[in-house]
Amino acid sequence: MAARGKRMPVSVARLDPLAVDRTGVTLGVPGELPWAAERRRSGLDPYDLIWVMPAKGAVALSELELIERIASQVRTRPGVVVGIGDDAAVLEGDPAMVATQDLLVEDVHFRRSTAGFADLGHKALAVSLSDLAAMGAKAVAALVGLGLPAGDALDDADIGQLYSGMEALAARFGVSVAGGDLTAAPALVLSVTALGRLPTGCAAVRRDGARPGDVLCTTGVIGGAGVGLSALDDPAAIDGVPESMVDAAILRHRRPEPRLTEGELLRDGGATAMMDISDGLGIDALRLARASGVTIEIDLGALPLHPSVEPITASLGRDPALAALAGGEDYELLVCLPKEEVSVLATGLTAGLTAIGGVVEGRPDVRLTRGGDAVRTAELGYLHDV
């Protein structure tokens, strides 16, 4: 999920593993480098690596690079169909089981000053359920790890609100909070493992199946959560924006909606690749492009913006489409579909489905356009700085 606190806005250098070393220095020398060869031997795509370029231009250790390092040290063994690198793991069987885990850490992903305990419970479960939705799985159960800060003023009512927010969402989707763990911690920590199931004879929708000719679509509307966070961070900057618009955006930030029903419908409707939009549409589209080995084109003019995006970005002096592209925490589904399936599925999804671009042959990359003109931006989304 997208972090909120120690976060690093990034641009992404589109670098070829055939010409880049681990420090991010362009070598300009042909031939596969040792780290890329090792990834290939491990069954990993050497192109599936995102280099994070902070504002000063130096390459920093990001969450994604750390995941790459971990992935290079572990192996996927019999019993696991999909391991590290997708929205969730898939365990062998028929029906196959799907498992995912997400963490929410105080002052990294949330601040108690801007979110109630029921909101935190809802969000902690929602972001894990969203990963199941991205695989096309039906959610079944959740295991909740809770780290409580020693000496803090949390009381029974706070914990009750936390779990009431979680249970209300779980009940809507037939999910059982089936267990977990409790411990003391330096800060409030929520760790949710969500478990799901695929229908008999059905495979998960992964990130690596996009094909040239597919249409790129998103469910719902985007950008609301990002501008909602901006409103919480700097209320004075949005003075004059209608209160209803601010409240709607903040609600999107505090209580994302996992698109579980939509995920199953898209799976059955022929989705070739899918993931949820957590760190920002731009950077998540790039992840999908890297996994599938294709170029993804996004038309900024086609983005279905949350109604609060334009008034809030106008107050902040930002481009609404670019703000939505990089905002993160929408938890809509970014999906690639055969062209002939788009209109059929669009009429059947309650959340809506909007075509925002397409998939073409080319190096793994994201190309942005508006009105037919190319658009370049320094921000595609957010990554954890670890």
* Phi/psi of residue 279, nearest 5 degrees: -95, 0
pLDDT at 380: 75
Query: For the chain, how many helices (H) and strands (E)?
Result: 11, 16
Domain ranges for the chain, please list them. 7-73, 80-197, 207-384
pLDDT at 349: 95
Domains 80-197 and 207-384 belong to one CATH topology: no
**Residues near 243 by Cβ (< 8 Å), separated by ≥ 6?**
none
Which of the listed CATH numbers 3.40.640.10, 3.40.50.300, 3.90.650.10, 3.40.50.970 matches domain 207-384? 3.90.650.10
The angle at the Cα of 343, spanning 340 to 346, to the nearest 5 degrees, equals 135
CA distances from 314 to 143, 238, 310, 379, 382 (A): 41, 9, 6, 18, 21
Tell me the pLDDT of the chain averaged across its residues.
85
Alpha-carbon distance of 190 to 146, in angstroms, equals 5
Assess contact for 372 and 300: CB atoms under 8 A: no
**Most trustworthy range by pLDDT among 44-58, 79-93, 296-310:** 296-310
What does pTM read for this prediction?
0.84
Alpha-carbon distance of 386 to 197, in angstroms, equals 32
Q: How far apart are the first and last CA of the chain?
A: 14
* Phi/psi of residue 172, nearest 5 degrees: -60, -30
Q: Is the pLDDT of residue 343 over 80?
A: yes
pLDDT, one tens digit per residue, over 186-195 is 999 999 999 9
pLDDT, one tens digit per residue, over 221-262 is 999 999 999 999 999 999 999 999 999 999 999 999 999 999
Percent of all residues in the chain with a pLDDT value above 90, rounded to a whole number: 72
pLDDT at 4: 44
Q: How confident is the model at residue 382 (pLDDT cuts 50, 70, 90)?
A: low
Q: How confident is the model at residue 67 (pLDDT cuts 50, 70, 90)?
A: confident
Q: Is the pLDDT of residue 7 over 50?
A: no
Q: Which three-class secondary structure state does DSSP give residue 240? A: coil
Which of the listed CATH numbers 3.90.1150.10, 3.30.365.10, 3.30.1330.10, 3.30.420.40 matches domain 80-197? 3.30.1330.10
Token pair 């949710």: residue: 192
pLDDT, one tens digit per residue, over 165-221 is 999 999 999 999 999 999 999 999 999 999 999 999 999 999 999 999 999 999 999
pLDDT at 27: 28
Q: Which of 230 and 21 is assigned the larger pLDDT?
A: 230
Token pair 């795509």: residue: 45
Q: How confident is the model at residue 61 (pLDDT cuts 50, 70, 90)?
A: low
